Amino acid sequence: MFKELEDISAEIEPSEEWKEVSIEMELSTAWKKETPIDSYKRMVTMKKNKSITIHDQCRGSYKEAYLNLLFAYEPRLEEDNIILEGFAKLKLGGAKKVEIEEVRITDSRLKKAWQESIFRVRIGFDEEILVSINNDAIMKPKE
């Protein structure tokens, strides 16, 4: 499914004062040429002490695009949010459907570093998806 990663291009643009940094990537070359994707752009922006945002834009004749996120702890869905209890709340913009799947760790090398399972959140979208976490959405542990 994926070609060599050396074909993926990225451009990093930090601001002068380093209060904000972003990276933009064209990822369409990661798929085989016959895959109906003309362009798949990802921009990740971090605003120091404020937020992290992932913005994906996909163009082509595909039926639906997906963004997969992996978590060490089981998330839950609440409207347009992914809740990582005690950690953070991720806001979704443009999601068509969201599925959570528990993935058992079977590789002995990964078992040394990970728990028994990880959780994949599969986010379906048409052309654009926005995932953001703001500093005020970071949950403080309950005392």
pLDDT digits (tens, 9 = 90+) for 28-87: 888 888 889 899 999 999 988 888 999 999 999 888 889 999 999 999 999 999 999 888
Q: What would you report as the CA-atom Rg of the chain, rounded to the nearest whole angstrom?
A: 17
CA angle (57 as vertex; 121, 21 as ends), nearest 5: 85
DSSP 3-state of 128: strand
Residue among 56, 47, 45, 44 at smallest CA distance from 93? 56
Kindly report the pTM of this predicted structure: 0.77
Domain ranges for the chain: 5-137
CA–CA distance from 13 to each of 1, 25, 95, 106, 118 (Å)? 30, 11, 27, 39, 32
* pLDDT, tens digit (0-9, with 9 covering 90-100), for 87-134: 889 999 999 999 999 999 999 898 888 889 999 999 999 999 999 998
Fold category of 5-137 in CATH? Beta-galactosidase; Chain A, domain 5 (2.70.98)
Give the C-alpha separation, 88 to 43, whole Å: 21
Dihedral angle computed from the Cα positions of residues 3, 96, 140 and 72, in that order, rounded to the nearest 10 degrees: -40
